[in-house]
Amino acid sequence: MDNNLDKIKELNEQLEKDPTDFKTRRELATELMENGYNEEALKHLYYLLKRFPEDSRLHYNAGIVLENLKKFDKAIISYQNALNINPDEPDFLYNLGYAYLQAQEFDKAIPFFKRVLQLEEDDANSYFNLGYLYSKKEEHDTSITCLKAAIELNPDDHLAHFYLAYEYDKTGQRELCKKHYEKVLELCPDYSWAYFNLGSIFYEEGDVEKSKEYLQKTLELNPKDDNASIILSKIFAKEKDYETAINLLEDALENNPYNGEVYYTLAHLFKETGDIENYKQGLKEALNNHDTLKISIKQLQSELKSVE
């Protein structure tokens, strides 16, 4: 990092001596961009664009910086400017598609990734993004096709396996789903979401021991996963280990004291142990945090009224 800062300082000093040295200004903008100084980089890029408005790479770099700054609308304009000058540059097409994706404009993103694949048929990232986009549009079969293509090109892409597993779950193909979640863990052993999803699946299927194993691993990797704590507490409650179940949820509330679903689950554990006062208190806290509840407010209010 020190070497990079020295380089930036050196380029700044050169530019102070000759502000018309466009080559140095361009190099400085690139160094600033690559080292996370986005606002400073953007100033130099805009300066250069006033003098070289037909330079597609300058528009493209400005788009990257704007995307880093989460200014997706402006990034889209910069990428489109780059494409107006050079319409078949795969990098420009890809980044414009990705900017639309980040702006949640999925239908606008899709044609750009398709165009990349017309130019570069082995672009695994474009297949992955298409798989993600079609998943968001709930076009599951198309999503599966794209994600499988991404994996064929890049078998070690753990995210492609993760989303493919998710799509197989959505389409009821549970064995394939589990196979790809296991592949995720083979490639990325610390990916807690894959452990959680497998734990949830085994819980639904009634395989309590496997569910417990995966959920405990989830919490080992991510102690703030409230959903894992909820399911695991239900498993311990069924085993009559209420102390462990209650401790799990109380720990979850220390990490996140605003989860209504945790309060509601905890309330019912107190009910099962005959602790009616804590049961009522848990319902009240659940009501105070109703935005994170799965049951309706009306249903919760009715339950609370029945014990007051």
Task: Quote the Cα angle for 96-101-107, to 5°.
Answer: 95
pLDDT tens for 110-124 read 999 999 999 999 999
Q: How confident is the model at residue 216 (pLDDT cuts 50, 70, 90)?
A: very high
Average pLDDT (150-158) is 98
What per-residue confidence (pLDDT) applies to 229? 98
Q: Structure pTM?
A: 0.90
Whether the predicted pLDDT of 181 surpasses 60: yes
What per-residue confidence (pLDDT) applies to 1? 55
How far apart, in Å, are the Cα atoms of 59 and each of 68, 132, 292?
14, 27, 43
